[in-house]
Amino acid sequence: MPSALPFLILPRLAALDTLFDLPTPLLCWGRALLQLELLRPTGGLDDRALPLLGSREGVLSATAGAALAAATLRRKIVIRPRGVFTHEVRETLKIWGVLLDAEAEATLPSLDSDAAAPFFAQLIAGLPRGEVVAPAGARAALVAAVQAGRAAVALVAADDELPELPRTVDLPASVERVPISRAFAAAARARLCRDLGLLAGHAAAAAAVLAHERGCIALVTSAGEREFSLDRP
């Protein structure tokens, strides 16, 4: 019996960053086109802006996805958490040697700031023309869409039960803001599981369903494992 089954053999990669350069899958769903960022190595799109950090070390104010992306740099980076950091994400960061410090003052540029927007320009340029829907946390991508002359829609939280969606966000005035309730997001997650076999986070699933209703593009930005965290409620 062979010592290693063929389907368990991984391709040799020069560096983990190589994974970030692979094409992100696109999926047609009715009249919507879904850019499945949740299938990227960090389960999000913040890793596109990693060049912004260069060779620097310091404190990064980051969401969970951005923190996991920064961890791949193998540098001395401290994360000031923003949003939901589950037990699983914290343990993963610990393995990678990244520290979490909620009180630390950020010294590194944010991966979703205006300065990060140019790194998302190629993503936006590679999509067909049309309206772009994304969770408000995908700020740099939404700014890039506006800069490319596209209509952009940001999903914000309609209640306090969706901590991964901010209730307010600093975005260009031209970006439409659509409040999403937990009930809508939960129904959207169930629909994506049923129709597409995709496990997406609340915000990502809501973006996909809204794009399906409007007939446009959605950046499906976060996987749904946080809804199954081992954290105690």
Model pLDDT for residues 120-157, shown as the tens digit of each residue = 998 999 899 999 999 998 999 999 999 999 999 999 99
pLDDT at residue 7 greater than cutoff 70: no
Distance CA 227, CA 233 (A): 11
Helix/strand/coil for 32: strand
- How confident is the model over 162-184, as a mean pLDDT? 91
pLDDT band at 233 (very low <50, low <70, confident <90, very high): low
The mean of the pLDDT values for the chain is: 86
Instruction: State yes or no: pLDDT of 88 exceeds 90.
Output: no
- In this prediction the pTM is 0.85
Mean pLDDT for 93-122 is: 92
C-alpha to C-alpha distance for 194 and 189, rounded to whole angstroms: 9
Looking at residue 142, its pLDDT comes to: 95
The span from the CA of 154 to the CA of 166, in Å, is 10
* pLDDT value of position 5: 35
Q: For domain 16-45+113-228, say whether CATH 3.40.50.1100 is its number.
A: yes
- Residue in 128, 155, 126, 123 with CA at minimum distance from that of residue 141: 123
Helix H or strand E segment including 65: helix 64-71
Contacts of 217 (CB under 8 A, 6+ apart): 32, 33, 34, 35, 127, 128, 130, 131, 132, 133, 211
Which ranges in the chain are annotated with CATH 3.40.50.1100? Answer: 16-45+113-228
Question: Taking residues 38-66, what's their average pLDDT?
Answer: 88
* 76, 156 contact by CB (below 8 A): no
pLDDT at 182: 92
